[in-house]
Structures are given as C-alpha cells and as structure tokens.
Amino acid sequence: MASPVEHVRESGAPAAAGGPPPPGGLMRLAGPGGRPLGLILKLLLLAVAAAIAVWAAIPLIDAGNWIGLAIVIVATIAIFVIYLSPRMIPAKYLVIGTLFLLGFQVAPIIYTLTTAFTNFGDGHRGSKDEAIAAIESASITQAPGSEVYALSIGTEPDGDLVFLLTDAQGAAFAGTAAGLEPLVPGTFSAGATGKITEAEGFTVLNVGEASARGAEIAEFSVPTDDGAIRSQGLSTAFEGIAGQNYQADCDCITDINTGTVFTADNDIGSFVDPNGNALAQGWKVGVGFENFTDALTNPTIAGSFFKILLWNFAFALLVPVLTFALGLALAMLFNSEELRGRRIYRSLLILPYAMPGFAMLLVWRDMFNADFGLINNLFGLSVDWLGGEWTARLAVLIIQLWMGFPYMFLVCTGALQSIPSDLVEAAGVDGARPGYAFRTITFPLLLVATGPLLITTFAFNFNNFNAIYLTTGGGPFPADNPTAGATDLLISYTYRLAFGGQGADYGFAAAISVLIFLIVAVISIIGFRRTRVLEEVN
C-alpha cells in the first residue's frame, strides 16, 4: 500500500523510502514537524536571562564587586549552556530552582554554619580595624578651644553621607568617611550663617531629609590628624580628640585620661586591661567549638538547654500524635454513609486550617488571658493559663491541636477512602471483630499512607516558632532565669539569644541552630528510613 508513504512525505516527515535519507544532524535542527514555537520561546527566555544578567552586572561593576560579578557570569553561562544544549535534559528542569536554592537557602545556611564558630554578635561585629576605628571615634570629646564648624549635611551621588563644613574663617571643606577635603571657592555657595547651601558634586539635604538619617549622622565622623570631626546637632560640628588611642607597636589601646592600657586579646576579640575588664567594642574572631561546648557543658546554659530540649521533643511528638488522633477519630466518625450533612460538617471542620495562622495564634493568646479571656469567661474559670508552667504548656498544645487537626482530618479522610473496603470485609469474613480489624488492617495501612506526613509534621513542629512566639512568648519565665521559659522551644530560645534585649549573640545562636538542625535531620532520616520513603528514590 503506497498511499501512507505519500502522506508521510507530504507532512514533511522523513521518508527514507523515497530518496536519499536526510542526514541526522540536519533533521535534528529542522525536526520532523519542527517546533518553531518552542524555539522562539526558548530564545525569548534566554534573551530575558541575558537582559537580567546585564541589569545585575552593571551595579556590581560600579561597586567593584568582582565576586558578585563572577557569580552572575557563571550562573548566566550555566543557564545558556544548559538550555542551548540538546542534552542535559534534567538540568533544564532543575537549574532555576537550584540557583534560587543555592542563593537564598544554602548560602545563608553556610554563612550561619561559619558564624557558629565565631563570637559574632553585639560588640563583635566587624574586623579589628573597624573595632579600633569605632573605639577611637566613640571616645572623641570636644577639647577646649578646638575648631567649631558650621555644618550642612550632604550626600554623595551614591547616597553616602558627607559633612559640608565651613570654619570660622569661611574656608569650606567636604568631610567624608575618608577624610577632609577643601572645597574650591566658587564651586559652592554659603548662606548667611556660613552654612553651605549648594555644592558641586554633592546634594545638600534639607532639615527633614537630614533628620530622617539622624542616627546615621550622629554616628558619622570625619577622621583628621588629631582626632575626628563629629556633628553636634544638625548644624554644627566640632573637631574633637580621641580619648582612647590605638598603638600598633604594643597592639593596645591607651586611655589618655586614666592611663589604663587595654591590650588586644586576639583569641576573644577584645581589648582587655590587666584587671580583666574588656572594652565594649570588640571584633569578630573564630572561637572554634566554644559555642557548642558552652551550650552543652556550661551549667546555666546547659541546664536550660536540656530542659528546653525535653519539652521541645514532647511538644513536637505530642502535636502530631494529638492532631492525628483527633483527625482520625473525626474522619472515622464521618466515614459513615448513613450520616447526613457530612459535607457541611467537613466544610466547617476544616475552617481552622483556612484561617490565617498568625492571627488565630494571637486570638488564642487573648482567649487564654486570665482576666478577660474567653476561655475563663466561657467556662467560668479563673485559671491563669499562661502564667503557670503546666497550664501554659497545656494551652500551647490545645492551640496547636486546634490549628492542626483539620489537616489530619483531611488526610485521614483521604487515606480511609483509599483503603480497599474488601480488605476489612475479608477480615470480617475471617472472623475478626471490628476493633480487631481496625487495629490489624485499617490502622497499619493508614500509617503507611500518612507516615511521611507525620514525620514532616514532627519536623515542622520541632521548629514551630510562631506557635510559641505569638502565644506565650516562651513564658512563663522562672524568676531566676529570664532567658529560658517553660514553653520555650529551642528555636524561640535561640531567637531570644540572637535578637533579644540582652545583646545579640549570633555566634551562639548559630551554634544552637546547627544543633537543632542535627537533631531534626537525624530523627527525620531515621523516620523516613522506617517508612521506606527513601527507598523510593532508588
């Protein structure tokens, strides 16, 4: 039969029978039937990628950020190679997500990991040079008879602050973080008080704009030979001398007024006097495993750490167990064909899951309020729920039960429906009582279906920051230890360490994060192993 061949040829598909076979390479380009639309789309997307790369590269070049530029270039080349190559098909589907993952998850995690081995935190933020500069500029005081300038606040084109100064003789200067530069007469104009109102190359801020950056201005200082120029208010500046000076030969800072010598201790990143008193400003140094050993061995820290860990486990285990138990019970309750209004029940029961979580947590906190809370009003109680150690824990669990059971209800309803009913019927025929059939057939099958979800629920609740932070805030706190409360999870405890009122200690917080990560990872991996999810990967 010849006609099909003819059709094939008409449609442009290769027809080896009629004539010399087209070479493979040509075919791949034209393709049987072609795909011009796909090709145009692909080129369009690559053009967009190139445009984004150029857009991203320009500020990096301006700022001289060569590492950033290298990353942009490598990422762009990777995208072009992967999408232009006919091979590497999996990479086409993975590369975008991977880039985001690396940029916004892996990079911060690696940074956090490295931070865990430093003393990074309040007082230990920057390098040693930055610390010295900060100490010196902070110690600047106005010496009697020192120069006073009329001050205008300006900015450089890139937005950096600049002090535009006029001294008593009318000479004008531009003071930047790098130093003092005289302004050429004629390139600026000054007002009656000597304040500069306009200067070439700078933007002079008005009072409103300046006061918006008030904190920055108060910190700003222009280094000079004897000390530095600092602002006093927004319209005057003075030259002061540093009360504490750094000397490189002894690697120490001397206080001019008291004569105390603070010697640099490069192990702890602080300047320390012979009595062991350290200057508040230090610098970031590596401290090895000290943060980890502190967490595990320092008696006060370790004491609260293990207590919190225990409650953390109890919380992370109880929440999935309780929500699953309630969800399953309700799913079975409504799994009866005879029950009317199942749809309505179901629609209403899942409402808690659909309400915005942060808002409902705050509402629950207020419902547990001892004085005017709804719970006490409703049941005629006068319990100080969030004030007592155990009532607070109970309250937190009730809240999480409320937040989580609808999800488990949905999951169990789906799982119950997916279990073939003939299995249970077969057990019935074999003589199993309903309770026994449930225990030996339905429940194990349910666990198989929902096991991975239970594990992820555990992992999620192990770090359920909102559940604590928005309700009890970790409290109640024992009188002797205001950093570790009765309902604290490791993560809320860590948050308080890192950002709490008593000075941030990012290094230590990072170390705890790493410990949390190890705990969750190990438990989850064991859990997944047991449910054989990982074997599916093979």
Q: Which of residues 391-450 bind other proteins (CB under 8 A)?
A: 402, 405-406, 410-411, 413-415, 417-418, 424-425, 427-429, 431, 433-434, 437, 448-450
Q: How far apart are CA 327 and CA 132, in angstroms?
A: 60
Query: Which tokens hold the place of 534?
Result: 């990982």
| Beta carbon of residue 497, minimum distance to other proteins (angstroms, whole number) | 10
Number of amino acids touching other proteins (CB under 8 A): 137
Question: Among residues 29, 43, 77, 94, which is the contact residue for other proteins, using CB under 8 A?
Answer: 94
| Beta carbon of residue 324, minimum distance to other proteins (angstroms, whole number) | 13
367 makes contact with other proteins (CB under 8 A): yes
60 makes contact with other proteins (CB under 8 A): yes
| Beta carbon of residue 517, minimum distance to other proteins (angstroms, whole number) | 5
248 makes contact with other proteins (CB under 8 A): no
529 makes contact with other proteins (CB under 8 A): no
| Beta carbon of residue 359, minimum distance to other proteins (angstroms, whole number) | 4
Paired with 252 in beta bridges are 247, 263
Cα 479–Cα 484–Cα 490 angle in degrees, nearest 5: 170
| Beta carbon of residue 61, minimum distance to other proteins (angstroms, whole number) | 11
Question: Among residues 80, 292, 353, 477, which is the contact residue for other proteins, using CB under 8 A?
Answer: 353
Would you give the DSSP letter of residue 118? B
Strand-pair category, 179-182 with 148-155: unpaired
3-state secondary structure of 484: coil
Q: How far apart are CA 531 and CA 113, in angstroms?
A: 30
| Beta carbon of residue 407, minimum distance to other proteins (angstroms, whole number) | 8
Taking the least distance from each CB to other proteins, the nearer of 151 and 510 is 510
11 makes contact with other proteins (CB under 8 A): yes
Alpha helices by DSSP H, 191-298: 207-212, 214-219, 290-297
Contact 296, 309 (CB under 8 A): no
Question: Among residues 44, 66, 74, 105, which is the contact residue for other proteins, using CB under 8 A?
Answer: 105
| Beta carbon of residue 277, minimum distance to other proteins (angstroms, whole number) | 28
Among the listed ranges 165-173, 304-312, 364-372, 388-396, the one in contact with other proteins (CB under 8 A) is 364-372
CA 413 to chain centre: 35
209 makes contact with other proteins (CB under 8 A): no
Paired with 239 in beta bridges are 229
Taking the least distance from each CB to other proteins, the nearer of 164 and 401 is 401
31 makes contact with other proteins (CB under 8 A): yes
Q: How many CB atoms lie within 10 A of CB 395?
A: 23
| Beta carbon of residue 300, minimum distance to other proteins (angstroms, whole number) | 22
**What are the residues whose beta carbons fall under 8 Å from the beta carbon of 429, sequence distance 6 or more?**
none
70 makes contact with other proteins (CB under 8 A): no
Q: How far apart are CA 323 and CA 409, in angstroms?
A: 8
Residues 133-192 that bind other proteins (CB under 8 A): none
Question: Among residues 107, 212, 250, 423, which is the contact residue for other proteins, using CB under 8 A?
Answer: 107
CA 340 to chain centre: 47
3-state secondary structure of 173: strand
CA 396 to chain centre: 24
